[in-house]
A = this chain, B = another copy of it.
């Protein structure tokens, strides 16, 4: 059992040092989550750092009225930077993470991930790099909300989705509307326009992407 995990972890996180790998195997737990499961919840007390081994997570923000919007996707080999931050301050999570596909996550007790920062250079680099990458993605999201109309935001959203899970977007218009914090009718209309330009083809429950760049 253990050696399987070790190979898998090594495959996803090739930059980790041997001793670090050993510690991860020894002290962390691996949790399998199903499509739609919530990995982190707003208001939840985080006591683990989350690494993604396989599958796909979406990280999003939710307000009091249940509105949401997508921050970014997490792919295998990356960490939820937020979980590290809140962890360290023993704060409540301000974000939600949900499994888009069935996924495997590694849960590392916070006090260890904190210790490892000083102990393992590869861990330290990994954490710093994660912060940076998420920060940049967050900035991109921010840009698109602040400066762009909904039509461009939709394009941005579709492109990002294609990047993480291919040209068949298996989402209803309602789901897309939720992630952009908009409404189904509006998204339907915009998608229709995109179809008319030939960039996509609409089907029931999925969208076929041809070319989003020439729009």
Query: Are B94 and A139 closer than 8 Å at their CB atoms?
Result: yes
Which residue from B61, B63, B117, B181 sits with its C-beta under 8 Å from A128?
Answer: B117
Given A118-B124, A142-B142, check contact A132 B63 (CB 8 Å). no
By DSSP majority rule, is chain A's interface helix, strand, loop, or mixed?
helix
Flag whether A26 is at the interface (Cβ < 8 A).
Answer: no
Report the bound CA distance from A181 to B124 in whole Å. Answer: 37
Report the bound CA distance from A145 to B134 in whole Å. Answer: 19
Flag whether A46 is at the interface (Cβ < 8 A).
Answer: no
Flag whether A215 is at the interface (Cβ < 8 A).
Answer: no
Query: Are A89 and B132 closer than 8 Å at their CB atoms?
Result: yes
Q: Mark interface residues in A156-196 (1 if CB within 8 Å of B CB, else 0).
A: 00000000000000000000000001000000000000000
Query: Are A61 and B146 closer than 8 Å at their CB atoms?
Result: yes
For A121, the closest partner residue in chain B by CB is B118
Flag whether A67 is at the interface (Cβ < 8 A).
Answer: yes
Flag whether A135 is at the interface (Cβ < 8 A).
Answer: yes
Measured CB to CB, the closest approach of chain B to A33, in angstroms, equals 24
Q: Mark interface residues in A79-92 (1 if CB within 8 Å of B CB, else 0).
A: 00110010011000
Chain B residues, Cβ within 8 Å of A131 = 85, 131, 135
Chain B residues, Cβ within 8 Å of A138 = 135, 138-139, 142
